[in-house]
Amino acid sequence: MPRKPPAAAPLSVVILAAGEGKRMKSQLPKVLQPLAGEPLLKHVIATAHTLSPAAVHVVYGHGGEAVPQAISDPSVSWVLQRERLGTGHAVQQAMAEIPDEHTVLVLYGDVPLISATTLHELLALAGRAAVGLLTVRLADPEGYGRIVRTARGDVRRIVEQKDASARERALSECNTGVLAAPARLLRGWLKRVKRANSQGEYYLTDVIAMAVTEKVPVHPLTAREASEVQGVNDKIQLAQLEAAWRARTARALMEAGVTLADPARLDVRGTLAHGCDVFIDVNAVFEGEVRLGDRVRIGAGCVVRNSTIGSGTEVFAHCVIDSARIGENCRIGPFARFRPSSTLAAEVHIGNFVEVKNSQMGAASKANHLAYVGDAHVGARVNIGAGTIVANYDGANKHETVIADDVHTGSNSVLVAPITVGAGATIGAGSTVTQAVPAGKLTVARARQETIDNWQRPQKPRK
């Protein structure tokens, strides 16, 4: 019988996140700079978790407790690097918590686009008695450590640019810093790393030459895309990675059948689930968890956050939908706003400059122009006239309004909560109602029109 391959060693991930990032010119630590609406470090931690590690250790330094407080992930082990003496020193801070039988994967808190697919391949190369080294080929390798190979193509060592000869600087294969190694071997190598370099630091890269000397196999893996291993040192590079994120996300959506008016003008800052035949116009922004049903159309300039939009619904341009549930076959906007905890049933129409907050609207109800519906339960087939507002706030407390089925409110009406409007009631235009409105009747609540003779408008004194 063929032998079974040995089981993979338990995995410990070490994420280096202690850098200051002076070139960011920001009070925010570098690893907390936002990419697609989340801190750089959070992206790396999320990818690490997809590998099912036994532990994730984050080595932090600059910014102090601000970094773990901002991430607040109970599954992460936080390790403080009090003195920043290089990458080798940083990894060594976490080694005390890592058993010898583990494989150690080293990642970086400012390299957010590294893929789980690449990391799985790298870990497979490392095994229990070898080192997996991730490299990248760059047209412009300025600033990167270079991979030095033998005549046979085997990795011999890594040389940092400041310590490299002119010949070595001409090499295009670069070190990404990402590697996987057996913990027992890595621990021994790190203890022997010296600071004999131009920076006076403990370089993690020195362990590669040690592995070669001890005849431990070093298996290189070349990253498919440079953006996957690109770090962030300033706002220009941050913008470049944001563009790469958008391109990656747009491609995935289009491959899944979503039609994008312009793939370059889409922002997804979270997760976007979708049905069939979805269309998204330019400059739409999706934040948090968003779900779009079949045949949903999103107009230009819309912002949708933590919301569900039902099949067949069209959202016209420049709407903001925040933490809402929109039913099927609704028509929304343009220039409509939904604040949290709003729910629409099927075939509801919400028109231009209408705001809905913490309210439920029944099937086929409409608020087509210049209305505010707050803290209200609205029944089916209700027509909210232009300029109607539900006055839900008394200056201290919010109050609830109940509007039953088939109610019509005239233009420019005010419903002062708490109030109940009975089924089939009609409220005359310009009314301010402060008491219960009976079902099936016309209610008018406005001052009688009068004309005052001999009235003089006040005049400004002439200069």
CA-based end-to-end distance of the chain: 108
**Residue 349 designated active-site:** no
Which residue, 12, 66, 336, is CA-closest to 186? 12
Sign of CA dihedral 183, 187, 193, 199: positive
Q: Cβ contacts of residue 456 below 8 Å, gap of 6+?
A: none
| Domain positions in the chain | 11-229, 235-443
Joined together, the tokens standing for residue 250 give 């747009």
| Model pLDDT for residues 338-362, shown as the tens digit of each residue | 999 999 999 999 999 999 999 999 9
Whether residue 374 contacts residue 359, with contact meaning beta carbons closer than 8 Å, is answered with: yes
| Model pLDDT for residues 148-188, shown as the tens digit of each residue | 999 999 999 999 888 899 999 999 999 999 999 999 999 99
Joined together, the tokens standing for residue 226 give 């440079």
What is the gyration radius of the CA atoms in the chain, in angstroms?
31
pLDDT of residue 1: 46
Q: Is the pLDDT of residue 4 over 70?
A: no
Whether residue 293 contacts residue 312, with contact meaning beta carbons closer than 8 Å, is answered with: yes
Whether residue 380 contacts residue 345, with contact meaning beta carbons closer than 8 Å, is answered with: yes
**pLDDT band at 8, cuts 50/70/90?**
confident
| Model pLDDT for residues 96-124, shown as the tens digit of each residue | 999 999 999 999 999 999 999 999 999 99
Q: What percent of the chain has pLDDT over 90?
A: 86
Q: Is 458 exposed, middle or buried (0-12, 13-18, 19+ CB in 10 A)?
A: exposed
User: What CATH code is assigned to 11-229?
Assistant: 3.90.550.10
Average confidence score pLDDT of the chain? 94
| Model pLDDT for residues 219-251, shown as the tens digit of each residue | 999 999 999 999 999 999 999 999 999 999 999
Q: What percent of the chain has pLDDT over 70?
A: 98
Sign of CA dihedral 67, 68, 69, 71: positive
pLDDT of residue 305: 98
Q: Cβ contacts of residue 150 below 8 Å, gap of 6+?
A: 156
Whether residue 191 contacts residue 89, with contact meaning beta carbons closer than 8 Å, is answered with: no
Q: Which of 49, 62, 219, 369 is catalytic?
A: 369
| Model pLDDT for residues 358-413, shown as the tens digit of each residue | 999 999 999 999 999 999 999 999 999 999 999 999 889 999 999 999 999 999 99
Same fold? 11-229, 235-443: no
What pTM was estimated for this model as a whole? 0.87
Q: Is the pLDDT of residue 92 over 60?
A: yes
How far apart are the C-alpha atoms of 319 and 305, rounded to whole Å? 11
pLDDT of residue 3: 53
* Residue matched to tokens 């295009």: 172
User: What CATH code is assigned to 235-443?
Assistant: 2.160.10.10
